[in-house]
A and B are shown apart, each in its own frame.
Chain A
Amino acid sequence: MRTLVLAVPGWPGHLAGQHVDVRLTADDGYQAERSYSIASAPSANDRLALTVERLDDGEVSPYLAGELRIGDTLELRGPIGGYFVWDIAMGGPLLLVAGGSGICPLMAMLRLRQSAGGTVPTRLLYSSRSLEDVIYRDELDALAAMGSSLEVIHTLTREQPPGWEGFHRRIDAAMLSAVGWPPTDRPLIFVCGPTPLVESVADALVNLGHEPARIKTERFGPTGG
């Protein structure tokens, strides 16, 4: 994983959850385009942060997460997407469910919430393979420790550190029921990650009684944008 911080003169601003399209051009004119979620909060003005997962067989991510150097220029377009967004005015309570690099757009929401001094009750349920794989780990710990009604709950599915007392399995209905808000609280729910996780989490939430219209999904991964 590599976070790119980009200076974007004239950036019009964005909403938490939106993404940009990045375009690379080779010297024979060949072009490749991919989408990346904006991980930075809207308040960070003309500096955008994109967190890129390097895929071994990827075409663009190895360049962005490997070759790209400070001082290089990128062509990008955005912000894109108006549905998978959260703004303070939308309220809560907020349930954020992330798998792996799906944390990126949700991180923009958490950073927005924090920068606006928000106190919207929020719970993040974050699935990673191991503690080492948790992206933004220190920052999440710090945000949760601020006492602003944010809880961060990790589940580590493949490997746990000694003494780990948290969840250690894939997200399922029982975990969502234990961690999430009851359907009667009508939470706003954002789910982001690889397709199998998003599919099973969204299904489980609907079966637990949450309104489908209050569940927003975004699917990530090598071919999910």
Chain B
Amino acid sequence: MSFVSRAFKGRPRDQSRDARVPPGQYVVRDFPVLSAGPTPRTSLAEWSFSIEGEIDEEKHWSWAELRALPSETVTRDIHCVTKWSKLETTWEGVSVDTLLEGVETAAEYVMAFCDGGYTTNLPLEDVTGGKAWIAFAFDGQPLEAQHGGPARLLVPHLYFWKSAKWIRGLRLMNDDSPGFWETYGYHMYGDPWLEQRYSGD
């Protein structure tokens, strides 16, 4: 007989919504902010985005150059490892596929690196093929600093710590290597549907 918490009822079940919420998550209407430290404040004049590492020639974009690239508006559900999920969030950003156009590499992984020192690792195939963006607007407004502005990585199919705030670039790597939270015990991959929150899950 599996474990049951005596007298626990929980919220009323909502079949249609529950099917789109990964295990262990609950839906919120607001947009929680979580971070490990103070919010970095980088001016657009200082901002740049780079692709570096296992690549013949590094690529760089200034803010103006990034904004001149074609961008898309996408609506996705997002899932935080701290258990909240927010449905139908709308973002505008440049697809990572656009930034990687013409890049030849044998690398299979990337490390996203950010202002303030945050990093997170992902397989290259999880940020390509229409799965990831450098997002600069949320809900039709410029992305606020506490939510990762001027720009953050957006990778909605993984737990949201992989959607690195204050991103400044992607470093292409041959081998996987733990980023910030991964070093502190969080899962290397982070699939919310397999509830891969912590290492060993």
Contact = CB atoms under 8 A, between A and B. Distances in A.
A30 B24 CA distance: 9
Interface residues of B, number: 37
Contacts of B6: 72
A59 B11 contact: yes
Contacts of A213: 37, 117
Contacts of B5: 24-26, 63, 72-75
A74 B32 CA distance: 26
B21 to A, nearest CB: 11
B32 A25 contact: no
B83 interface: yes
Nearest to B184: A82
B83 A212 contact: no
Interface in B13-57: 13, 23-24, 26, 28, 30, 32-40
B198 A195 contact: no
A212 B185 contact: no
A206 B7 CA distance: 47
B82 interface: yes
Interface in B50-101: 82-84
Contacts of B26: 32, 59
Nearest to B23: A31
A183 interface: no
A34 B36 contact: no
B34 A225 contact: yes
A206 B40 CA distance: 10
8 contacts: A23-B24, A30-B10, A83-B181, A202-B37, A203-B38, A217-B37, A217-B38, A221-B32
- Which 7 A/B pairs are nearest by Cβ-Cβ distance? A82-B184, A202-B38, A225-B82, A223-B32, A24-B5, A33-B24, A24-B8
